[in-house]
């Protein structure tokens, strides 16, 4: 388990090639996006998703939508 403590409203760094997911009510992937360029996105919270084997996911805001991104792919701006 990774120990990353981001604060709500904080901007976090996402490298290029990372995939963000939107899940449907049943926990399946409804939509996804693969970021072609690095991004700074707003952190909105964390969740544990049993559909991904109990993985820790970060909820990040991008272009009016909240995407879930694996915590291991999310970095604080200070880590740059």
3-state DSSP of the chain = CCCCCCCCCCEEEECCCCEEEEECCCCCEEEEEECCCCEEEEEEEEEEEHHHCCEEEEEEEECCEEEEEEHHHCEEHHHC
Q: Indicate the pLDDT class of residue 12, thresholds 50, 70 and 90.
A: very high
Q: Indicate the pLDDT class of residue 32, thresholds 50, 70 and 90.
A: very high
CA distance 15 to 34: 10
- Domain ranges within the chain, ordered by starting residue: 11-79
pLDDT of residue 62: 96
Q: Tell me the pLDDT of the chain averaged across its residues.
A: 87
User: Which of 5-9, 13-17, 50-54 holds the top average pLDDT?
Assistant: 13-17
């Amino acid at each position: 388990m990774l120990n990353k403590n981001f604060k709500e409203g904080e901007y976090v760094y996402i490298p290029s090639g990372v995939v963000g997911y939107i899940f449907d009510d049943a926990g399946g992937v409804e939509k996804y996006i693969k970021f072609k360029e690095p991004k700074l996105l707003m952190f909105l919270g964390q969740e544990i998703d049993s559909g991904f084997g109990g993985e820790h996911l970060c909820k990040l805001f991008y272009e009016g939508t909240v995407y879930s991104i694996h915590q291991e792919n999310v970095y604080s701006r200070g880590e740059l």
